[in-house]
Structure 1
Amino acid sequence: MSLKHPEGRAQVSATTRTGPRFTILVGGLVMLGQFAIGTYLPAFGSLSTALSASPAQVQQSLTAYMLPFGLMMLWHGAISDAIGRRRSVLAGLALFALGSLVCSAASQIETLYAGRIMQGLSAGVGAVVGRAMVRDVASGATAQRQLALVGMLFALAPALAPVCGGWLLAWADWRSIFLFLALLSAGLLWACWRWLPETLPPPERHVLHPIRLAQAYGNVLSHRSFVLLALANAGVNMAIYVYVLGAPNFVTQHLGLNAQSFAWLFVPIVVGLLSGSLALFRLAGRVSPWKTIALGHIVMFGAASVNLSLGVFHAPALPWTVIALPWFAFGMMLTQPSLQLLALDCAPARRGLAASCYLTFQQVGNALLSAVVMPLLAVSLTRMALGMLSIQCIGALLAYLALRSMDRSQPLSGDPPSYQSDDLR
């Protein structure tokens, strides 16, 4: 379907707002970055042996992925605003597949780093552009429901990725994990080439002019409400990532399980993510985004407090060590889609660039967590639980400050956004 037709935009909107194919494709694009992290976590020990690298060097392969992932977030959206969503997605998937093949052929740790950098440079295109595409074709409660459905698919990744990695490691070796990622991205590339529509017609695109681009970034990054919403989202995401990034220590050291037992951590989390997405889907249009954000933080605070209490007063044992995590994930999924929708409505004419900036905060936060904070937290369950609670409280404070900076007198709607006194056009 071509958007050159004068009614192309309307045709895309009508087809994709309720189309399961569009939702599945966007969900797959958003999932890819999670698979690039989770699938190879069970192989850390094998990578250390095969590449003659220390555990710390293997751990830094996460940073080699996450730093370029976070930094490229600033560009994926701006590029898609200029050349279109579809072209950006196809180019990113091709580079990710190539990076996965480089990782699979690595014989030394430096080659693995190179492949992971290629993956990091490209994996974020789905997370940024996919979310912008949802907002291109839907608004208000409809967009909130669409993001909740995408969230349900995204929620499967943290559970499926390490489980798939563990199975592949048992069946073959660590190289099979990166070959799997290459096949997965190639399959997505074909599906998007075949079925993904263009949601940003040429008249609505922006030229990649350096001065105009710098001005656009400056406008977005100086928008108080947008920055607070992005930081609040980053805080929520970093809180759950204490356990995602600390999974090897959590599962194999603290719980004493093997590499095929990552499901004990990730399945409870994914159950909470799925349940939270379903709850948000049903609440959209009946409860305001700010109320879902507040409710989500109440649930997360309660879950993180229980988790810390169990870490202090109870020896590591299943199921008690993981019993609070699905509740935290439930609250997170009540919060994140609403934060995202409110943030993108701050810049209706630059949704791609705004999505880039929004997710850059999130991914740079995760990279800093991986490189700086996790070595301090991963040594004990109590520290991990305390880290989760502390980061969540910071996120709640930032969300409250964002609330104070915005006008909530009108309901969330499409273009123009509700916050007309302070939007970016």
Structure 2
Amino acid sequence: MISHLRISKARLAFILGALAMLGPFSIDTIFPAFAVMQGALQVDKVAMQQTISMYLLGYAGMSLFHGPLSDALGRKPVILTGILIFTFASVGCALSTTMPQILFFRVLQGLSAGVGLIVGRAIVRDALDGHDAQRLMSNISMIFGVAPAIAPIIGGWILGWSNWQAIFWFLSGFSALLLLVSALALPESHPVEKRLPMNVKFLANGYREIIGNRKFRLLAYAGTANFGALFLYITSAPAFVLDLLKLNEQQFGYFFVPTIAGMVIGAFFSGRAAGKISGVRLANIGFAFCGLSALFNIVYSGLSPTLHLPWAVLPTVLSAFGIALVFPILTIAILDMYPNQRGGASSMQAFVGLLSNALIAGVLSPMLSDSGLHLALGSAVFTAVAYGMWRWYLAHTDKAQLPEASQDAASLEPTDEM
């Protein structure tokens, strides 16, 4: 029980994990319906890909405000408002009959979908410190990780007995349930006396300070690029599953289930390692798995003229496992840089990542998803950039301030300014 919030850690992890599911559900559930929607709306594959990139642009733009709004108004009101808007946007998508209408409501979904993930990170650090925060973050990652695995399966099932609009009706029902659960069970973790003023000048100065911090940039870029290696495959799932693996709309699970299983196992291991393995060492292990994934992927895709299971998805499993080890370490370190602006720091971290994801979905995925080798090379570049940013961070950090094996992951954040 987290005494000052009057909620158990398990219940809080479940609620925050479920809230974080809105994002991947919004993307992955509609993947099986891409071909059907393409015909119904009379658009091409590139236009359908924009339903992802436009969603992500909305997600990225609003991510700058979710955190500061929660710093000023409290965590719970911001979360409830965001879920309400998402529910309305999902109904709008279900009732849309043209591509411009779909894109409008997809942007609106994006503007609201990130509220649970971004504000949820701030709630974790409001509630807990050190090892406990890393464990809770890892537990949330395990719950959150289920969403990308089951979302396309749910989408395929829905498409099997109904039309593509039913997928958006499902999303509206899911978000309405989350709204009810959050209203009844989610506590407020940010008391009035700790809230910050919400004004443009204060917000601009805060973000200028955050983005101007080299330590923040290096860690944010490392996390963004590391996840980008996997997100390239996630956003290319329709082409990867249907065109390259030659599977059907009901078989997206062959890609997503093992991949997300790797992420869930990695998150479990990260939680168990808290307080036993230093943050630096755990992150290095995670990057090693990502590097192994990239190497195997390039060799297999280069030597095999056609992709086959299970070898084609083994690299994404290894990558997801490594990402799950790295991500909690980097995120907690970033949040600890700004103990009085955790919402703002979480928002800026999300903004950097989402801009990258929008670029991947709208530009790189259409360019690279024509072959397995192109995807493998693109993914490997992201992994190399991520590791380079991480090593740069370590090189500019006083070694005496890095955590020892007995210290917690949050102590990764050094106190010197670069």
For normalisation by structure 1, the TM-score amounts to 0.94
CA deviations 1:219-256 (Å, max 9, x no partner) are 11111101111111100111001110000000110111
For the aligned residues, what is the CA RMSD?
1.7
Q: Report Cα offsets for 1:309-331 as digits up to 9, x if no partner.
A: 11111231112211222111111
**Structure 2 CA distance for partners of 1:390 and 1:215, relative to 1, 3 Å:** same
Indicate how the Cα distance of structure 1 residues 330 and 413 shifts in structure 2: closer, same or farther if over 3 A, else same.
Answer: closer
* Structure 2 unaligned spans of 5+: none
Q: Determine the C-alpha separation between the residues in 2 that align with 1:41 and 1:67.
A: 18
Instruction: Give secondary structure in 1 for the equivalent of 2:312.
Output: helix
Deviation, structure 1 residue 50 = 1.3
- The separation in 1 between residues aligned to 2:399 and 2:114, in whole angstroms, is 31
C-alpha distance in 2, partners of 1:355/1:397? 22
Deviation at 1:150, TM superposition (A): 0.4
Alignment match, 1:155? 145
Question: Which residue of the partner structure matches residue 419 of structure 1?
Answer: 414
Once residues 407 and 186 of structure 1 are traced to their aligned partners in structure 2, the CA distance between those partners, rounded to angstroms, is: 48
User: Does residue 197 in structure 1 map to residue 187 in structure 2?
Assistant: yes
Q: Give the distance between the partners of 1:337 and 1:420, measured in 2 at CA.
A: 19
Find the counterpart in structure 1 of residue 83 from structure 2: 93
Matched, 1:58 2:48: yes
Which stretch of the first structure deviates more once superposed, 68-77 or 95-104?
Answer: 68-77
Q: 1:108 and 2:98 equivalent? A: yes
Q: Which runs of 5+ in 1 are unaligned?
A: 1-8
The residue number in structure 2 matching 1:339 is 330
User: What are the Cα deviations for residues 5-33 of structure 1, in whole angstroms up to 9, with x where unaligned?
Assistant: xxxx9511xx44x5211110000111110
What aligned pairs does 1:214-225 form with structure 2 within 5 A after superposition?
A: 214-225=204-215
- The answer (yes or no) to whether the contact 2:290–2:323 under 8 Å persists in 1 is yes
> Residue in 2 aligned with 1:348?
339
Query: Structure 1 stretch 161-170 or stretch 313-322: which is displaced more?
Result: 313-322
Distance 1:353 1:170 in 2: 42
Alpha-carbon distance in structure 1 between the residues aligned to 2:165 and 2:413: 50
Aligned pairs for 1:60-75 (under 5 A) are 60-75=50-65
The equivalent of 1:183 in structure 2 is 173
Question: C-alpha separation between the residues in 2 aligned to 1:145 and 1:10?
Answer: 17
Instruction: Return the letter of the residue paired with 2:361.
Output: S
**Distance in 1 between residues matched to 2:260 and 2:74, nearest whole Å:** 32
1:359 aligns with 2:354: no
Question: Is contact 1:224–1:405 with CA below 8 Å preserved after alignment?
Answer: no
* 1:48 matched residue in structure 2: 38
**Structure 2 residue 390 is matched with structure 1 residue 399:** yes
- Number of corresponding residues: 412
Matched with 1:276 is 266
The residue that corresponds to 1:138 in the other structure is 128
Is residue 333–residue 413 contact of structure 2 (8 Å, CA) maintained in 1? no
Distance 2:409 2:282 in 1: 19
Specify which of 222, 226, 232 is matched with residue 232 of structure 1. Answer: 222
Q: Which stretch of structure 1 is more off in the superposition, 193-202 or 370-379?
A: 370-379
Distance 1:204 1:387 in 2: 44
Does the 8 Å contact 1:27/1:150 carry over to 2? yes
- How far residue 267 of structure 1 moved from its aligned partner, in angstroms, is 0.9
The amino acid of 2:113's aligned partner reads A
1:371 equivalenced with 2:362 (yes/no):
yes
Does residue 4 of structure 2 align to residue 11 of structure 1? Answer: yes
CA shift digits 1:358-383 (9 cap, x unpaired): 11111110001111211221010000
Asked if the contact 2:86–2:113 (Cα under 8 Å) also holds between the matched residues in 1, the reply is: yes
- Alignment correspondent of 1:4: none
Distance in structure 2 (CA, Å) of the matches to 1:216 and 1:324: 39
Q: TM-score, normalised by structure 2?
A: 0.95
Q: Deviations over 1:160-211 (max 9, x none)?
A: 1111000000011101100000001100000000000000001111111222
Change over 3 Å in CA distance of 1:358–1:235 after alignment to 2: same
| Structure 1 CA distance for aligned equivalents of residues 145 and 182 of structure 2 | 21
Contact 1:346/1:417 (8 A) holds in 2: no
For residues 406 and 351 of structure 1, what CA distance do their matches in structure 2 show? 22
Counterpart of 1:3? Answer: none
Identity of paired residues, percent? 34
* Higher mean displacement: 149-158 or 402-411: 402-411
Going from structure 1 to structure 2, the CA distance change for 1:77 and 1:45 (only over 3 Å counts) comes to same
**Is contact 1:348-1:417 (8 Å) kept?**
no
Q: CA, structure 1 residues 133+415, in 2 after alignment: closer, same or farther (shift >3 Å)?
A: same
Partner of 1:160, secondary structure, is: helix
Aligned residue in 1 for 2:234: 244
